Amino acid sequence: MLANLLDNAQRHARSVVEVSVRREGTWAVVAVADDGEGVPEAERERIFERFVRLDAARSRDDGGAGLGLAIARDVAVRHGGTLTVRDAPAGGALFELRLPEGR
């Protein structure tokens, strides 16, 4: 999961990727943020579908196959967690992975 999130952030960042880990009650929270273009609100659930790539102009070699985020979310859910995206403080995307204690 983390490798997919980091790869995605690195691909879309202008210059900065930030990773943080914290505990919220019984949850481990990993946040991966970049300073890229972000994800339009209307597309935020769609990017977790298999083979979805928002920038159709990119080549498959440069842009991936559109599986990384779908796989990451699927693994998170199978472990009782969640994976969401929202705006990052730097204006890019902020992906938040939450996993329950003991996972």
Asked if residue 25 has pLDDT above 80, the reply is yes
Residue 65: the pLDDT is 66
Burial annotation 38-71 (CB, 10 A radius, 16+ → b, else e): bbeeeeeeebbeeeeeeeeeeeeeeeeeeebbbe
Higher pLDDT, 57 or 38: 38
Cβ atoms of 63 and 53 within 8 Å: the answer is yes
What would the two tokens of residue 19 be? Answer: 């990773």
Higher pLDDT, 49 or 33: 33
The H or E element containing residue 12 is: helix 2-12
pLDDT band at residue 58 using 50, 70 and 90 as cut-offs: very low
Residue 56: the pLDDT is 42
Asked if residue 22 has pLDDT above 70, the reply is yes
Domains and CATH numbers, the chain: 2-100 (3.30.565.10)
The H or E element containing residue 95 is: strand 93-100
Cβ atoms of 85 and 78 within 8 Å: the answer is no
